[in-house]
Structure 1
Amino acid sequence: MTMPTARLTLRLFARLSGVLLITLTAAVIARWGGMPLPWMLGPLIAAAMLAMSLPAGHWLVPPFPNSIRGICVGVVGLMIGGSFTPALMSSAGEWWITLLGMAAVTLLLQCLNYLWFRRGMGLDPTTAWFSGSPGGLMENIALGEAHGGDLRIISALQFLRIILVVITLPTAFSIWNGAPVGSSAGVQVPGPPLTATDGLLLAAALVLGQWGARRLSLPAGVVVGPLIVSAIAHATGLIGGQVPPGLVSGAQWLVGTALGLRFAGMQRARLVQCLGGAVVALGISVAAVGAIIAIVLPFIDIPVPALVLSYIPGGVVEMGLIALSIGANPVFVTAHHVFRILIAVMITPQIFLRHVARRGARTGVAK
């Protein structure tokens, strides 16, 4: 590392220490107050309020390093992979039905969200299509920009979609259960304590999983790669211990801080407009998910909460954490979200190119 690079790195960490102290305090308060997923939602809300109240470039709202966020998300993947057991996979024979339902939900939401953003909010076809995609945050931002969409609106609507689900779903489950879900409820996978050997193997699983995911271009690879390697290692008995709850809470704290800081520089007028659009899109998601669950439920023996977590278009990491906290199969939930992202990234853009963009080109409105 050169001297200028080292100096910049030290300056960034000095700036991060300020916001991390604030978000750590928010996490402790949220934990004390019984908020669902307090170690993620407390920092997220605090960092977002800080980012929106200070001018862009302020020393208290530095860019959060993607490398640190990737490690934290990978830790959650290791924990979810540690829940992989033959008993949890006993219902895998029914998954083809629920995966068909997942495909139906994804395509239905893509169409309904597009109609809402196009006609309800008056967005151009490209921006409306990629804003309405129910999966693949970074992929849809990149695709939307490549096809001439409004990058700022796509980013805001996609990000707010995830934030609303992450905030409202744990709250709804907490009200339903009569107790907070997430870290307040003690999110952890039952198992023996972590040994030094297990710790080294889990660290290797994190590195190997994320490297392999990049090589294979897996969707949500930073979490899915470590999840797969951890699942194999635990299922074969190579690793016996589980990721310590304290480490998972720390990972949630940093992920929540990173998410909140992404509100930096967002104009309030645009935020209000996009927030209203995202709230309506969330209502559309709830209605569509409820309809598909009602169709598939008579043919399967899977609890409704697990289906809701699997079908609602939220973050892979966050939905896995909630699944663990309510006793649902996190492998089942995560598998469905990966399938959703695959459809949203690989199939729905082709529909856009073949139908929406072509029709827009004929009428002269597509960007």
Structure 2
Amino acid sequence: MLEKILTTLGLVLIGGVGGTIAHWLQTPLPFMLGSLVSTALIATLFGRVIPEGYVFPQKFRLVFLAVIGVMIGAQVSPDLIEMLPAMLVSFSAIVLFVGLAHSGNYLIFRHIGGYDRPTAFYSATPGGLLESITMGEAAGADIATLTMQQFLRIILVITLVPIGLSFWMGAPVGSAGGMTLTHANPSDFSHLHEVVLTALVGLLLGKPLRLPARHLTGPLFAAALVAASGLAVLDLPNWMISVCQVVIGASLGMRLGGLRGHAVLRGAGLGLLSVGLMLGVGLAFSLTLEHVTGQPLDVLMVSFAPGGVTEMALIALSLNANPALVTAHHIWRIIVTVIELALFGRYVQRRTL
């Protein structure tokens, strides 16, 4: 027992170092990605130092997963709700985008990549990284491959979109342009009890409601209702959110230990096809909506790009656009994806039994 605890703490510490280095290098999703890469390298290159039969403790991981769920749901603020009437057309387009992107990606991973049905289905989602990984694991997907493809989606979108827009505008955009959404007061714990209470309510309601990946989606939907109604302020210091990402990244990195160079290269090729398809579909919607909504093409493109919510909001700031508008589209994309997974995920799981 002690050996398992020490191993877990050691992996989290290694993940924290990797996350800090990634943060210094200004990579996308630095603390989660840096933690994932560093622990995956340990599992792959120095697997003998890890006790035989060791598995990252799931109950420990789920605590931090619930907090992340709350912070995702907290993005649905009253301000965003007030903006809904003006975004009905683009929000409807997001629903179509999710369906088209997911279907096209599934064909890529299933028929070109040769992945099994659950792995292809959950790798193909155009959003909801943690939700897809959590639900995919329950459905019997190859968790290492699924995790790799979901992170490649985020990395490729977050890398390609800012680079493309930077060339177009002639100046860096996003975090590369110095934009930040960092919490102003790292010692402010005044809303910690509200976050914990919301997470507990979400966890308690998730089981009777039979929510998929309830440890994440329960707190997520509970936080969305609380934040949208203005009942409480769900906010935490940025460093605490980073710690949650480090722990989750470390748990995922341990599952990537079995991947080798050929699998990674193949996944990268499939990821480029998938991201190319999604950006193409997003561009088509953006060109159409530009004339309907009056929003600039670049802002619409950022709203449809299936990348991380934070980085897309930073890019919006770089474009002098309303980050709340862009964030609203990405939160809606994630919600639609989670609902779609809940509706069709069980069908995919039944087809594999």
TM interval, shorter chain, is: 0.7 to 0.9
Aligned position for 2:287: 294
Counterparts of residues 122-161 of structure 1 (less than 5 Å): 132=124, 134=126, 136-140=132-136, 142-143=138-139, 145=140, 151-152=141-142, 155-161=143-149
Work out which of the residue numbers 93, 96, 100 in structure 2 matches 1:101.
93
For the 8 Å contact 1:170–1:322, the answer to whether it is kept is yes
For the 8 Å contact 1:161–1:281, the answer to whether it is kept is no
1:34/1:269 CA distance change after superposition, 3 Å = closer
SS in 1 for 2:78: coil
* 1:270 lines up with 2:263 in the alignment: yes
1:77/1:181 CA distance change after superposition, 3 Å = farther
Displacement of 1:235 in angstroms is: 5.4
Provide the C-alpha distance between the structure 1 equivalents of 2:342 and 2:48, rounded to a whole number of angstroms.
Answer: 31
Counterparts of residues 96-245 of structure 1 (less than 5 Å): 96-121=88-113, 132=124, 134=126, 136-140=132-136, 142-143=138-139, 145=140, 151-152=141-142, 155-172=143-160, 175=163, 176=166, 178=172, 181=175, 186-188=180-182, 194=188, 196=190, 198-219=191-212, 221-234=214-227, 238-240=231-233, 242-245=235-238
For the 8 Å contact 2:91–2:329, the answer to whether it is kept is no
Structure 2 unmatched ranges of 5 or more: 318-322
SS in 2 for 1:265: coil
Displacement of 1:239 in angstroms is: 3.3
* 1:255 lines up with 2:248 in the alignment: yes
Displacement of 1:280 in angstroms is: 2.2
Amino acid at match of 2:206: A
Provide the C-alpha distance between the structure 2 equivalents of 1:88 and 1:225, rounded to a whole number of angstroms.
Answer: 21
Amino acid at match of 2:192: G
Tell me the number of residue pairs that the alignment of Structure 1 and Structure 2 aligns. 334
Provide the C-alpha distance between the structure 1 equivalents of 2:240 and 2:306, rounded to a whole number of angstroms.
Answer: 26
TM-score normalised by the chain length of structure 1:
0.72
1:14/1:190 CA distance change after superposition, 3 Å = closer
Work out which of the residue numbers 84, 91, 114 in structure 1 matches 2:83.
91
Provide the C-alpha distance between the structure 2 equivalents of 1:22 and 1:305, rounded to a whole number of angstroms.
Answer: 39
Structure 1 unmatched ranges of 5 or more: 1-7, 146-150, 358-365
1:140/1:92 CA distance change after superposition, 3 Å = same
Displacement of 1:124 in angstroms is: 6.9
Displacement of 1:132 in angstroms is: 4.1
For the 8 Å contact 2:198–2:219, the answer to whether it is kept is yes
For the 8 Å contact 1:27–1:38, the answer to whether it is kept is yes
SS in 2 for 1:87: helix
Aligned-pair identity in percent equals 22
* 1:335 lines up with 2:332 in the alignment: yes
Aligned position for 2:320: none
Provide the C-alpha distance between the structure 1 equivalents of 2:195 and 2:188, rounded to a whole number of angstroms.
Answer: 10
Displacement of 1:35 in angstroms is: 2.8
* 1:41 lines up with 2:30 in the alignment: no
Displacement of 1:342 in angstroms is: 2.0
SS in 1 for 2:208: helix
Displacement of 1:46 in angstroms is: 1.4
Displacement of 1:247 in angstroms is: 0.9
* 1:67 lines up with 2:55 in the alignment: no
Kindly report the root-mean-square deviation, in angstroms, between the aligned alpha carbons of the 2 structures. Answer: 4.0
Displacement of 1:350 in angstroms is: 5.5
Aligned position for 1:361: none
For the 8 Å contact 1:36–1:180, the answer to whether it is kept is no
Work out which of the residue numbers 276, 284, 288 in structure 1 matches 2:277.
284
Amino acid at match of 1:162: Q
For the 8 Å contact 1:41–1:167, the answer to whether it is kept is no
For the 8 Å contact 1:205–1:226, the answer to whether it is kept is yes
